[in-house]
Amino acid sequence: MKTSFPGRTTGEARFRQVAASVLATLHLLNAATVYVVLNGGRPAPSDQDGLGAADLACLLSICLSIAAIQFCLRPSVRRVLAPWWAAPAVVLGAIASLRLAALF
């Protein structure tokens, strides 16, 4: 006699693990990038290389946020993961956007 939980197949549970792993990796990379942006030291206005690196890190963080949000909006992912999985990407993207605006 085969027993299983109703509504959850083993394939769906495995997909949940894979989707959560992908999103966790994106969120960790994004958080590390935001940390570098915020704690990388304030470059002097005459330091063009430092300003360029900070701009690049902000843009990378915004791109990672967009990728995570797009991944969360996929119907197959929305079916297995809760909506709060997109919240870290929204918050980190907003922080990077504000920092980018403050650099100019």
Q: Which has the minimum average pLDDT: 13-22, 31-40, 45-54, 71-80?
A: 45-54
Query: Is residue 4 one of the residues assigned to a domain?
Result: no
Interior CA angle at 55 toward 53 and 61, to 5°?
100
Query: Is residue 2 one of the residues assigned to a domain?
Result: no
Count of residues in the chain:
104
Query: Is residue 3 one of the residues assigned to a domain?
Result: no
Query: Is residue 1 one of the residues assigned to a domain?
Result: no
pLDDT confidence band for 42 (50 / 70 / 90)? low
pLDDT, tens only, 70-90: 999 999 999 999 989 999 999
3-class secondary structure, 44: coil
Rounded to whole angstroms, how far apart are CA atoms 83 and 79? 10
* pLDDT for 7 beyond 80: no
**Number of structural domains, the chain?**
1
For 15, counting Cβ atoms within 10 Å of its Cβ (0-12 exposed, 13-18 middle, 19+ buried), the class is: middle
Mean per-residue pLDDT over the chain, rounded: 87
Query: Is residue 21 one of the residues assigned to a domain?
Result: yes
Query: Is residue 56 one of the residues assigned to a domain?
Result: yes
Query: Is residue 71 one of the residues assigned to a domain?
Result: yes
Q: What is the pLDDT of residue 39?
A: 86
pLDDT, tens only, 56-65: 999 999 999 9
pLDDT confidence band for 44 (50 / 70 / 90)? low
Rounded to whole angstroms, how far apart are CA atoms 63 and 70? 11
Domain that residue 34 falls in: 12-38+45-103
Query: Is residue 5 one of the residues assigned to a domain?
Result: no
Mean pLDDT of 39-54: 75
